[in-house]
């Protein structure tokens, strides 16, 4: 065991009063305004730079030379905040300005939103210059009420904490007072009482018709450096992710209902599809701005939130048992964006079986393969196990797990793998065994960066 400092989020559902909910919406609106204000300052500077570069190019200067000649600094949080303080005004003194109502909400709403705008801008630049892995990040967009998620983040001075637990069912937040919780916070309260956790910030967000508080804490935890005897005895388990079955395991594992090797896909989206379609059709028949439209929108958002909670909750159950039950968990390096790319094609070259491919894309995204790997990444570092990743181009489904012979003629319709060596096995289980045999361990994540979005186990 090694004592380490990790960032860990504890997420709780809130039960605010009507007046408190109004305050939550006011804070979320202030955070959205601050983000747009900071982003507007950045886009204005960027537009000015582009205009001057274009003027030089029209005058005959080479574009690469013009880009280097024009230097316009994009304002960051310190500059944006300084200018905001100077021109914000104050309604209490009758001073008009950009936001004279700033004193009605916590100042941390503005500061955290300015920082979020810096992050969004940096992500776009890093993606543009190839310094950021994954899907390309687009140009930062302004947040619009009704479309962007209502959320805000509040920090505090850890030496004089303004975010603390009043009781096991009440959370005290700066400027909001004590807010009742649906859940008990005894687990977090014990860590705080023993001095093993320090509250850093709280992020309040709205999902459907319910508000959540994600309390970020710096926790002192004894993280195991090696697997336990039980994990070491279990060895390596390979995971083949699919649609017919959510996960195929290279060896049986007890995931809560006895040993299984094929984990059935709960198909959360299909189960909720009827109610979602009815709500969506009801929404399409309403008029914009009407009270009935707002009522139907709340019902539709509530259904989507319930769907998301069920999906991520089931994945937490599976990933924790895998991370705690085996010494090594091996997964595929899936290119999810490529797997779910639309088959629509273009006008000149239209795609085929577009409707069937769209249904397959929905089914793949419903299994949340990226979320499953994200959870395994930090949970394996928490519980002493190791995450191993298979090379993306290794033909795990078409290779015999017994002799290594490949069958390039295998199609998706072939659900049983048969080899000339005599092996006859379920296609997914055969792939899982290949993943377990050929996956390579990856470096453990930095403990300080672990900050899960939802309540983790």
Q: Is 428 labeled as catalytic in the residue annotation?
A: yes
Which residue among the candidates 23, 118, 240, 366 is catalytic per the annotation? Answer: 240
**Is 332 among the catalytic positions?**
yes
What residues contact 166, with CB distance under 8 A and at least 6 apart? 172, 178
Whole-angstrom Cα distance, residue 321 to residue 316?
9
* Catalytic residue, candidates 23, 118, 366, 428: 428
Euclidean distance between CA atoms 72 and 44, whole angstroms: 11
Q: Could you tell me how far CA 292 lies from the centroid of its own chain?
A: 32
In the set 23, 116, 150, 332, the catalytic residue is 332
Give the residue among 230, 213, 221 at the shortest CA–CA distance from 325. 230
Give the Cβ contact number of residue 97 at 10 Å: 15
Tell how strand 259-264 and strand 210-223 pair up.
unpaired
| Residue positions annotated with a catalytic role | 240, 332, 428
């Amino acid at each position: 065991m090694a004592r380490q400092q990790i960032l860990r989020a504890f997420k709780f559902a809130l039960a605010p009063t009507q007046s408190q909910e109004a305050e939550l919406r006011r804070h979320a609106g202030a955070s959205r305004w601050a983000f747009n204000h900071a982003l507007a300052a950045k886009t204005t500077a960027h537009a000015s730079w582009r205009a001057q570069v274009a003027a030089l190019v029209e005058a005959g200067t080479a574009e690469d030379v013009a880009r280097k000649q024009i230097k316009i600094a994009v304002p960051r949080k310190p500059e944006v905040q300084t200018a905001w303080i100077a021109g914000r005004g104050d309604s209490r003194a009758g001073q008009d300005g950009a936001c004279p109502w700033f004193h009605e909400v916590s100042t941390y709403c503005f500061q955290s939103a300015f920082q979020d705008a810096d992050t969004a801008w940096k992500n776009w630049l890093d993606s543009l210059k190839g310094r950021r892995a994954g899907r390309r990040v687009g140009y930062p967009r302004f947040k619009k009420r009704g479309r962007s998620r209502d959320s805000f983040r509040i920090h505090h001075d850890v030496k004089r904490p303004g975010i603390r637990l009043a009781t096991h069912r009440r959370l005290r937040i700066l400027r909001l007072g004590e807010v009742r919780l649906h859940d008990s916070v005894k687990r977090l309260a014990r860590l705080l009482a023993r001095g093993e956790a320090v509250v850093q910030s709280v992020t309040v967000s709205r999902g459907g018709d319910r508000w959540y508080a994600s309390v970020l804490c710096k926790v002192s935890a004894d993280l195991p450096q090696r697997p336990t005897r039980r994990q070491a005895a279990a060895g390596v388990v390979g995971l083949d992710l699919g649609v017919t079955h959510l996960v195929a395991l290279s060896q049986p594992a007890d995931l809560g209902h006895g040993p299984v090797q094929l984990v059935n896909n709960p198909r959360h989206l299909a189960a909720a599809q009827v109610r979602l379609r009815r709500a969506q059709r009801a929404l399409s028949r309403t008029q914009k701005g009407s009270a009935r439209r707002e009522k139907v929108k709340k019902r539709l958002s509530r259904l989507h939130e319930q769907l998301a909670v069920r999906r991520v909750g089931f994945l937490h159950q599976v990933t924790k048992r895998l991370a705690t039950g085996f010494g090594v968990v091996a997964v595929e390096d899936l290119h999810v964006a490529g797997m779910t790319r639309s088959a629509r094609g273009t006008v000149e070259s239209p795609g085929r079986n577009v409707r069937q491919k769209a249904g397959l894309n929905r089914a793949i995204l419903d299994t949340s393969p990226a979320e499953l790997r994200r959870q395994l990444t930090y949970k394996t570092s928490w519980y002493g196990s190791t995450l191993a990743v298979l090379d993306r181009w290794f033909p795990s489904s078409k290779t015999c797990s017994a002799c290594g012979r490949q069958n390039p003629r295998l199609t998706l319709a072939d659900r049983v793998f048969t080899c000339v060596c005599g092996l006859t096995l379920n296609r997914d289980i055969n792939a899982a065994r290949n993943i377990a045999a050929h996956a390579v361990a990856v470096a453990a994540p930095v403990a300080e960066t672990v900050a899960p979005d939802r309540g983790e186990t």
